[in-house]
């Protein structure tokens, strides 16, 4: 899947095309943008949150667990030379302690978590 950007209508706004989906990204006003969409680090955190919720939900459904909802919150910021993503997960439903522990383990196996925790290479070509 290719993600592309095109200039938006505001000072720093960009339209992101992801398959048939379109999102906006922008910079906060304090950085010269108009804050018409999330900034890139927010999109990164949102990717981790969404992947976590989807992965846990799919696993629970396959296993017949009584998971009614999974709520994920990500706080993120630059700290001491590293970018820190602090994830909080709430499992809603009649789950045993063992099931909750298993779901927490599964959360760390979501593809975005694995990508962010592994080696990442960015290759750039000018076209």
pLDDT per residue as tens digits for the range 53-93: 999 999 999 999 999 999 999 999 999 999 999 999 999 99
pLDDT classification of 114: cutoffs 50, 70, 90? very high
Q: What is the mean pLDDT of residues 111-124?
A: 96
* Domain 40-117 classification at class level: alpha beta
Query: Who contacts 120 (Cβ-Cβ below 8 Å, separation ≥6)?
Result: none
127-to-13, 28, 104, 114, 124 alpha-carbon distances in Å: 22, 29, 43, 30, 10
Beta strands 21-25; 67-79: pairing state: unpaired
Q: What is the mean pLDDT of residues 10-28?
A: 96
The residue with tokens 């990442």 is 120
């Amino acid at each position: 899947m290719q993600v592309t950007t095109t200039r938006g209508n505001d000072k720093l706004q960009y339209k992101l095309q992801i398959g048939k989906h379109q999102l906006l990204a922008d910079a906060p006003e304090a950085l010269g943008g108009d804050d018409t969409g999330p900034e890139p680090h927010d999109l990164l955190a949102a990717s981790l949150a969404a992947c976590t919720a989807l992965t846990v939900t799919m696993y629970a459904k396959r296993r017949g667990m009584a998971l009614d909802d999974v709520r994920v919150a990500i706080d993120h910021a630059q700290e001491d030379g590293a970018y820190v993503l602090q994830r909080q997960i709430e499992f809603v439903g009649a789950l045993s302690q063992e099931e909750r522990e298993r779901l927490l383990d599964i959360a760390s196996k979501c593809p975005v978590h694995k990508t962010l925790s592994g080696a990442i290479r960015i290759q750039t070509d000018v076209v």
